[in-house]
Amino acid sequence: MVPLRSRAAASLLHLLPRGRITRALGRFTEARIPRPVLRPVLDLYSRAYDVALDEAVVPEGGFRSFNEFFTRQLRPGIHTVDPDPATVVSPADGRLDDSGPVSADRRFTVKGQSYDAATLLDDPAAARAYEGGHYFIVYLSPRDYHRVHSPVAGRVREVRHIPGDLFPVNEMGVRTVPGLFARNERVVVHVDTELGPAAVVFVGAFVVGKITLTIEAPPRPELGGRSAVRAFEGDARPTLEKGDELGAFQLGSTVVVLLGPAAHGRWEAARGVDPTPVRVGDAVARARDGEAS
């Protein structure tokens, strides 16, 4: 049962001009603000959300905008990438919200809601590659490092930018907005790996309308329009190592990772779903020899 307060908040969100609010806040967070003004605000934010600023690379003189703070880099050595070639690692710092199998009809369940991979990816043909595979979801809160890294080693086949809404992806949004992850704007990076196909899905959110990639991406499509696609072929296909930086969110959001059936066996969870923070490079799934479960 969803609490009454959450249902009321969700009803209010349906009435708000979410796109316009998000774009306006995006322009504000990118604006240069005098450092003597910005610094105490960021200090207050960091204390309120328990941001680990001691891990961050802080520019000389301090951050110049909210966005520079949100997309801050971390010092070398903060993340350790699991070296086992059979593992898939967390693409982000955050919370492992869910993990499990993708059914033979390409469906998976997140907090009681059923999702269709074809709708999430906006590509029924591509979704067939994930039948009988595995998925996991990492939620990035406002306190977390907002850069996203590749969970796998492989070569990028396609990037697809899918227009959509911008509902919150926090606990309230996940439980009260039907099909949330497949309704919000998202960017999908398809990667071919030794373990099988993988899709890394950046899900946009309320006040998180900007998603950037380190590889060439298609232009952002108009709301209500068709998805924009950038396909790569031959030597032009970007190569990713596990743990390579792949992109960033302007603020916290969610990453969904879909894995096709393990090429030489079956997938198993490398860690449980619990409130314990997960870090970039931590093993989340592992390919095991044997029949798929």
- Residues annotated catalytic, as ranges: 93, 149, 253
Task: Annotate 40-78 with b (16+ C-beta within 10 A) or e (fewer).
Answer: eebeeeeeeeebeeeebeeeeeebeebbbbbbbbbeeeb
Q: In this structure, are residues 218 and 228 in contact, taking their beta carbons and an 8 Å threshold?
A: yes
Place of tokens 């903060």: 78
Give the tokens for residue 142.
């406002």
Rounded CA separation 51/146 (Å): 12
- Rounded to 5 degrees, what angle do the CA atoms 21, 251, 98 make? 110
Phi, psi of 230 (to 5 degrees): -125, 110
For 124, residues 6+ apart whose C-beta sits below 8 A from its C-beta are: 118
Q: In this structure, are residues 150 and 156 in contact, taking their beta carbons and an 8 Å threshold?
A: no
How far from 112 is each of 58, 108, 175, 265, 271, CA to CA, in Å? 41, 10, 8, 28, 20
* CA proximity to 174, closest of 16, 6, 33: 6
- Rounded to 5 degrees, what angle do the CA atoms 197, 198, 204 make? 150
Amino acid, res. 57: V
Q: 3-state class of 176 per DSSP?
A: helix
